[in-house]
Amino acid sequence: MLSRVADSLYWTSRYLERAEHTVRLVDINQGMMLDRSETSAERRWRRVLAAIGYPPNVEWNEDVYALVHKLCFDPSQLGSVTACIIAARENARQIREAITTEQWQRLNQLYHEIQRLKPSSPSETQLAEFAPTIINGAHLFQGVTDTTLSHGEGWQFLQVGRFLERASATTNLLDVYHRDVYLRTGEVLDAYEYLEWIGLLRTCTAYEAYCKVYTADLTYERILEFLLLDAEFPHSIRYSVDRMHQSLDAIQQESRGLQATELMRVAGKLKSSLAFAQVAEILAQDPAKYLRGIQEQCHCIHNLIYEVYIQYSVQTALAM
């Protein structure tokens, strides 16, 4: 596969996953502002910005409508939902020959839908229709991808982008909640803590799945175990890393002349560390350090993917 095609497939999937994660995070936290609790709007918006990597030119103390507008609707704002959808569509446009008509139609339709929903001013910003449009659009793209695209190398690159982005985003979200909620529980009421854990689970689409495993007994230890180590829940870090590793392995099998030994070693090490980890051991040490370690390994995997499949040398290309 051409490196430009692999690159565009990888980023199409990453941008769509990022858009869905961001709009869900903003929508749920904005809804939680309606609840009278011990926490302040300042603290919640600080947490939202930390979870998405402190985007430039966005301040927590802005007017709430202006803040949500920048995070969701401003195409010039790096990392905004709209900017991610535009970037995903542009990447797909450049490789129309590598994707199906149904995939392109879904992305193109989603792009035009968000243009229609863009408010004329920040004061008119509403997420009631925008958030479901983004989430449903991302899910429909994944659905037509699985049912209309051959599950070969191109499909695998889409999976790698999707699950690497998901693992990284969920890890960062858990790290933020660890520092902002768990380490400060002595300062707040139990009711507040309960509400915050519900918000975390809903952001990861995990509330119902969690309750089926642990009932409605919300504790940090169980939530950490579920979102970090559960092998069957699609938004857990372990599940995402397992699927990413599976796709990387499939790509390696199909590639000729490309040495992915170091990439597979790092990805396999991360996969094994999650498969054999126990939440009691993580809590006995330093959960924040453990989560940051996962983030660093995800970043390393991204760099190695580029080194092996995107930016390989001319000598390697000639030898293929």
Contact between 108 and 89 (Cβ < 8 Å): yes
Q: Fill in the amino acid letter for 256.
A: R
**pLDDT value of position 122:** 85
Instruction: For residue 70, count CB atoms less than 10 angstroms from its CB and return exposed for 0-12, middle for 13-18, buried for 19 or more.
Output: buried
Quote the pTM value.
Answer: 0.93
Per-residue pLDDT of the chain (320 residues; tens, 9 = 90+): 789 999 999 999 999 999 999 999 999 998 887 665 555 678 888 999 999 998 888 887 778 888 999 999 999 998 999 999 999 999 999 999 999 999 999 999 999 999 999 998 888 888 999 999 999 999 999 999 999 999 999 999 999 999 999 999 999 999 999 988 776 655 444 666 788 889 999 999 999 999 999 988 888 899 999 999 999 999 999 999 999 999 999 999 988 767 899 999 999 999 999 999 999 999 998 999 999 999 999 999 999 999 999 986 544 443 44
Please tell me the distance from the alpha carbon of residue 3 to that of residue 25, in angstroms, as a whole number.
Answer: 33
Write down the pLDDT at residue 41.
Answer: 77
Among residues 133, 103, 112, which one has the least CA distance to residue 8? 103
Whole-angstrom distance, CA of residue 17 vs CA of residue 170 = 11
CA torsion angle 274 145 202 211 (round to 10): -70
Q: pLDDT value at position 312?
A: 61
pLDDT at 316: 47
Cβ contact 21:169 at 8 Å: yes
pLDDT of residue 181: 75
Residue with tokens 């490789």: 95
How would you class 1 by CB atoms within 10 Å of its CB: exposed for 0-12, middle for 13-18, buried for 19 or more?
middle
Q: What is the pLDDT of residue 318?
A: 38
**Amino acid 314: pLDDT:** 45
Q: Give the model's pLDDT for residue 233.
A: 98
Residue 124 DSSP code? G
164, burial (CB in 10 Å: exposed 0-12, middle 13-18, buried 19+): buried
Burial class (CB in 10 A: 0-12, 13-18, 19+), 175: buried
